[in-house]
Amino acid sequence: MSVRASRPRLPSVGNEVNRLYEARGLNHSNGFEYFVSLFERARKEVVSELREADLDVLNLFDPDKLDILVFTRYPYVIPSVNRLEDIPDDYYNREADYMPGKPFGFSDVA
């Protein structure tokens, strides 16, 4: 699926990039310089769309088959959030409404 078709909110194309650099160095066809060129091409393709995620997708999962829900949360994607005080009081617990009693956590919070 292309970036244009899936329109990811916050794609990760550079997690722990130092490991690639340390393992392969700069001057290989599959080394760090190649990664940098891929990163630059991917960045050009990404469409910026700041919005909250549609959590209704959680309704497609059977809660009995999930051990824990783990989310990333970026309140700055809400247009009305400019300061910490602007974050809605229920912003970090809205997920609980979808699967009451299911434990959840966060992998990234910004």
SS3 content of the chain, % helix, strand, coil (to 5): 40, 10, 50
| 78 and 103 belong to one structural domain | yes
Q: Name the band, by pLDDT with cuts 50, 70 and 90, for residue 5.
A: low
Same domain, 25 and 67: no
| Helix, strand, or coil (residue 77) | helix
- Structural domain count of the chain: 2
Give me the pLDDT at residue 9, please: 61
Domain that holds residue 31: 3-45
Same domain membership, residue 105 and residue 59: yes
- Per mean pLDDT, which range of 20-24, 86-90, 106-110 is the poorest? 106-110
Residues 72 and 99 in one domain: yes
Structure tokens at 88: 């809605």
Mean pLDDT of the chain, nearest integer = 75
Q: pLDDT > 90: what percent of the chain? A: 0
On whether both 105 and 70 belong to a single domain, the answer is yes
Q: Residue 80: helix, strand or coil by DSSP?
A: coil
35 pLDDT band, cuts 50/70/90, is confident
pTM score of the predicted model: 0.46
pLDDT digits (tens, 9 = 90+) for 7-25: 656 666 666 677 778 887 7
Q: Same structural domain for residues 61 and 37?
A: no
Q: At residue 37, does pLDDT exceed 70?
A: yes
> From the centroid of its chain, how far is CA 83?
21
